[in-house]
């Protein structure tokens, strides 16, 4: 299994419009971060997790033209609002694209982007909007060759979904993990975990909390993602143990690699 970090930045990316690079060294290209998203691949199956506002740039950088499904972790804009670019996937595949999410996330997506989910009798020659099919997550499921185990996470003012793909797990936008999440993470080899800042935060994990969770779960390796402009790549690398690695855009993680 292969996971590509399409983006590892927080909601504003790095640099931000309002605050620039913050504590991040602009000379290090690994500090330039698009909004968080990953691509999961196994055999001939490709899953996109979240449609960030940077989706076009992310697909072009990774050489991706199509996916078999999209899974949403939650409905916040930095994870949902690149949805319109999915019409490019429809143009390549010439078929409807399944999008998975919990009931609340799918309801929000349909309310904000109703045109993307409207029925269409004939796709026709020119696809002018996304063609998306709703798939509600109610437990473990499969997309092609990839099994997916979802688990609940606390994002402060709402819940998000963590996702386990075999021995690789993805937890973004999380400030607390219930016991069921730790149960779902048992035996995981690789854990990609969101960590926005270096101080306690209302809605996101910070470095110390993420390290405590990693000590509890004990993955062979962990990657820090969803990093804000306070988290310089080299500073984080020096502050964490060797098996904990700050992610960067374009990073490819292979199970067993």
User: 89-111 burial by CB neighbour count: b if 16+ within 10 A, else e?
Assistant: bbeeeeeebbbbbbeebbebbbe
DSSP 173: S
pLDDT digit string, tens, across residues 119-128: 988 887 789 9
Determine the number of helices (DSSP H) and then strands (DSSP E) in the chain: 7, 14
d(CA 161, CA 163): 6
The two three-digit tokens of residue 256, written as one number: 């067993």
According to the model, what pLDDT value does residue 9 have?
99
Q: What is the pLDDT, as a whole number, of residue 120? A: 87
CA distance 102 to 81: 17
CA distances from 2 to 61, 137, 253 (A): 16, 23, 6
For 12-24, how does the pLDDT look when each residue is reduced to its tens digit (9 = 90+)?
Answer: 999 999 999 999 9
Among residues 178, 227, 222, which one has the least CA distance to residue 205?
227
Tell me the sheet residues that pair with 9. Answer: 35, 227
Task: Give the H or E element holding residue 2.
Answer: strand 2-7
Tell me the per-residue pLDDT of 226-252, one tens digit each, with 9 for 90 and over: 999 999 999 999 999 999 999 999 999
Phi and psi at residue 207, to the nearest 5°: -55, -50
The pLDDT score that the predictor gives to residue 256 is 52
Cα–Cα distance between 104 and 88 in angstroms, integer?
26
CATH topology of domain 2-137+146-254: Metallo-beta-lactamase; Chain A (3.60.15)
Which pLDDT score is estimated for 236? Answer: 98
Show the tokens assigned to 218.
Answer: 């004990």
pLDDT digit of tens for each residue in the chain (257 aa)?
999 999 999 999 999 999 999 999 999 999 999 999 999 999 999 999 999 999 999 999 999 999 999 999 999 999 999 999 999 999 999 999 999 999 999 999 999 999 999 998 888 778 999 999 999 999 999 999 999 999 999 999 999 999 999 999 999 999 999 999 999 999 999 999 999 999 999 999 999 999 999 999 999 999 999 999 999 999 999 999 999 999 999 999 998 54
Question: What pLDDT score was predicted for residue 32?
Answer: 99
Q: What is the pTM of this model?
A: 0.97
In this prediction, residue 36 carries a pLDDT of 99
Q: Which pLDDT value is given to residue 257?
A: 41
């Amino acid at each position: 299994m292969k996971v590509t970090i399409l983006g590892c930045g927080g909601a504003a990316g790095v640099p931000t419009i309002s605050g620039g690079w913050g504590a991040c060294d602009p000379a290090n290209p690994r500090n330039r971060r698009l909004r968080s998203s990953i691509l999961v691949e196994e055999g001939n199956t490709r899953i996109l997790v979240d449609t960030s506002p940077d989706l076009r740039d992310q697909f072009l950088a990774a050489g991706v033209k199509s996916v078999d499904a999209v899974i949403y972790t939650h409905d916040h804009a930095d994870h949902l609002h690149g949805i319109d670019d999915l019409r490019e996937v429809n143009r390549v595949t010439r078929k409807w694209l399944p999008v998975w999410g919990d009931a609340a996330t799918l309801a929000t997506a349909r309310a904000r982007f109703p045109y993307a989910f409207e029925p269409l009798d004939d796709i026709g020659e020119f696809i002018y909007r996304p063609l998306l099919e709703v798939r509600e997550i109610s437990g473990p499921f499969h997309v092609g060759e990839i099994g997916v185990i979802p688990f609940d996470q606390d994002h402060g003012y709402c819940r998000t979904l963590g996702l386990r793909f075999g021995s690789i797990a993805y937890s973004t936008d999380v400030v607390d993990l219930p016991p069921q999440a730790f149960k779902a993470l048992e035996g995981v080899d690789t854990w990609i975990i969101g960590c926005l800042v270096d101080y306690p935060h209302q809605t996101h994990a910070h470095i110390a909390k993420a390290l405590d969770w990693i000590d509890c779960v004990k993955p062979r390796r962990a990657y820090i993602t969803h990093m804000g402009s306070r988290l310089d790549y080299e500073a984080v690398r020096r502050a964490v143990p060797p098996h904990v690695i700050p992610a960067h855009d374009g990073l490819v993680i292979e199970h067993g690699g």
